[in-house]
A = this chain, B = another copy of it.
Amino acid sequence: MANKTIREQREYIEECIRLIMQKKDVSDALVIDLNGYPMKSTMSDELTLRHIGLYGQVIDKARFMLTQLDPNDEITFMRIRSKNHEVIITPDDKCIFLVIQNPRSEDRL
């Protein structure tokens, strides 16, 4: 997404969210910029900010951990599966995609 214009970035994100939400067991999707601000969300404002606040801490902690073990390493993907949800976190160079889905679905991302 590096050399896209702002408008192209927005269209790229809209298209990504559209495709992601077509997966039948995806419940929500969220795109966060690198400053932690929501760029796009399928959730309410309140839930969006809660997810950003909480997941942002996990992503930061995982990034910190990685740089302590290997300063040249960088997170490319996180999957956090729990009894009731599965969350996929994919950092891009300009934003972070966060997708929430049913952990028991056969059609998972």
Binding site for B on A (CB under 8 A): 50-51, 54-55, 57-58, 61-62, 64-66, 68-70, 72-85, 103
Contacts and interface: CB of A to CB of B under 8 A. Distances in A.
Copies of this polypeptide in the complex: 2
Contacts of A68: 50, 54
Contact of A74 (B57, B62, B82): B82
Contacts of A55: 65
Given A54-B69, A76-B81, 16 more contacts: A50-B69, A51-B69, A55-B65, A58-B65, A66-B82, A70-B85, A72-B83, A72-B84, A73-B83, A75-B81, A76-B83, A76-B103, A77-B79, A77-B81, A78-B78, A78-B79
